[in-house]
Structure 1
């Protein structure tokens, strides 16, 4: 029970307050949500990725294990969500929105503090979570952009959009600078730190603004879709992760960190993509909001299970 309340107080309540502030601001001032999403995509998200990769020690062996897990995990999730999409017979725009709601999970502002809570501040598990966050940042900015645009524009424009995303350049640059031990000059390091610190708050405010701009009413078919997304993300996700780490024969600490990383709710990236490219914005916001609320119980159950079995 103490774990449940700790997760509730340290992860969910602060996030809920930030989302609520976004809702209030939107209702009071009708903010421009596309401007907020651009700030996240082109400033705050690249900054936090650079900052964490540059400052976190990660061994080559851990990188190999985590990357292999991530590829298998994403392939497995893709198969599951594609089966659901075929069963539901979605339109193209809804297909991409459903994929994004399952494949993109909140590995940053939910996953990092959750990792440190579950593993008592372990540097080893933090390194694993940073790798997951890195790959989860790349996927929305490449496949995610392609997914929400492929059905409504030509491929040249899609690739132009993908190549304009700064995060795909920031990640290899951070690894190179860290690998060659290149110091970051203080006049540059300080603004990077400011931008990185702004990511979580701005992203949550953006979610709140989107929630504040929509009607809080979910039709019966939409309710089924949101519930299906939540099931695939919060229940099927960690179950699939457990199967993969068992088949890979990973050590208990690495396995547990990867399972916990897979149990988090839908990423804010799915909302930012939906807003930036005008693709099923209400569904995207509802999946993030609902999955975050339900994760109070599902994440607690995953941590409880791992403390017994792992």
Structure 2
């Protein structure tokens, strides 16, 4: 019960307040969601990624192990998704939106606090979460962009968009500077810090604006699709992660951190991609909202079952 209340008060409620502000202010001022989306992609997301990677010590052994887990876990999710997509006969943009809503999970503003809660601020498990966050930032800015554009644009145009994303350059630069112990000028560190701190609030506010722009209720068909995506993300996700850590025979602490990292709700990246590229915006927004709400129960259950 303590974990349930903690997640509700420290994760769900703060997120909900910012989302609610986005809904209300959009109703009043009719805000430009495209501008908000571009700010997230080109400013705030790269800043928080650089700050975390540059400021965190990660051993090569841990990096390799977590990367191996991540690749196997993503492949397992993708295979399961393809079965569902074929059974449901999704086409075009809906296929991309379903993949993004399941494959991209909230490893930053939800995953990091949950990691700190579950493992009492352990620096080792935090470094694991940061590696996952790095990959969950890189993939939406590469595969995610390809996925939402593949059915409506040629590969050259899609590649041009991917190469314009700052995150794909920020990650190697931050790792190189960290590895070579390149000092950061204080004025630059402050600027990056200001931008980094704006990421979570702006991304959540953007989600609220998108929800506020929706007209009417959810159709029965959309509700079914949102339910399927939510089950794949919140239930199948940690189960597949559990299977992968068993296969790799990882130590208890590492395995638990990876399973918890896989149990979080759908990433805001799926909404930002949907908004930026006009692809199933209502479905993506509803999936983020539903998985975030349901995660109060599912994430608590995962932490409890792991006996951390």
**What range is the shorter-chain TM-score in?**
over 0.9
Determine helix, strand or coil for the equivalent of 1:264.
Answer: coil
* Residues 259-309 of structure 1, C-alpha deviations (whole Å, 9 max, x = no match): 0000000000000000000000000000000010001100000000011xx
Alpha-carbon distance, 1:218 to partner: 1.0
Q: 2-side partners of 1:89 and 1:102: how far apart? A: 17
Determine helix, strand or coil for the equivalent of 1:297.
Answer: helix
Instruction: State the partner residue of 1:203.
Output: 203
Instruction: State the partner residue of 1:168.
Output: 168
* Residues 96-146 of structure 1, C-alpha deviations (whole Å, 9 max, x = no match): 000000000000000000000000000000000000000000000000000
Q: 1-side partners of 2:3 and 2:275: how far apart? A: 35
Determine helix, strand or coil for the equivalent of 1:24.
Answer: helix
Instruction: State the partner residue of 1:83.
Output: 83
Determine helix, strand or coil for the equivalent of 2:139.
Answer: helix
Q: What stretches of structure 1 move > 4 A for 4+ residues in a row? A: none
Alpha-carbon distance, 1:215 to partner: 2.5
Is 1:240 aligned to residue 249 of structure 2? Answer: no
Q: 1-side partners of 2:155 and 2:164: how far apart? A: 14
What are structure 1's unaligned runs of at least 5 residues? none
Q: 2-side partners of 1:71 and 1:95: how far apart? A: 21
Is 1:96 aligned to residue 96 of structure 2? Answer: yes
What are structure 2's unaligned runs of at least 5 residues? none
Instruction: State the partner residue of 1:147.
Output: 147
Q: 1-side partners of 2:34 and 2:88: how far apart? A: 30
Q: 2-side partners of 1:208 and 1:118: how far apart? A: 28
Determine helix, strand or coil for the equivalent of 1:301.
Answer: helix
Q: 2-side partners of 1:215 and 1:108: how far apart? A: 30
After TM superposition, the score normalised by the length of structure 2 is 0.99
Alignment of 1:1-310 (within 5 A): 1-215=1-215, 217-307=217-307
Alpha-carbon distance, 1:79 to partner: 0.5
Aligned residues: 308
Q: 2-side partners of 1:172 and 1:82: how far apart? A: 31
Q: 1-side partners of 2:151 and 2:247: how far apart? A: 36
Q: 1-side partners of 2:122 and 2:23: how far apart? A: 35
Q: 2-side partners of 1:83 and 1:28: how far apart? A: 43
Q: 2-side partners of 1:118 and 1:63: how far apart? A: 21
Q: 2-side partners of 1:113 and 1:28: how far apart? A: 32
Alpha-carbon distance, 1:217 to partner: 1.1
Q: 1-side partners of 2:72 and 2:129: how far apart? A: 17
* Residues 184-232 of structure 1, C-alpha deviations (whole Å, 9 max, x = no match): 1011111000000000000000000000000351111111100000000
Q: 2-side partners of 1:216 and 1:294: how far apart? A: 22
After TM superposition, the score normalised by the length of structure 1 is 0.99
Q: 1-side partners of 2:153 and 2:49: how far apart? A: 29
Alpha-carbon distance, 1:90 to partner: 1.1
Q: 2-side partners of 1:216 and 1:172: how far apart? A: 44
* Residues 13-62 of structure 1, C-alpha deviations (whole Å, 9 max, x = no match): 10011100111111110100000000000000000000000001111111
Q: 2-side partners of 1:270 and 1:3: how far apart? A: 27
Q: 2-side partners of 1:108 and 1:4: how far apart? A: 20
Q: 1-side partners of 2:273 and 2:219: how far apart? A: 23
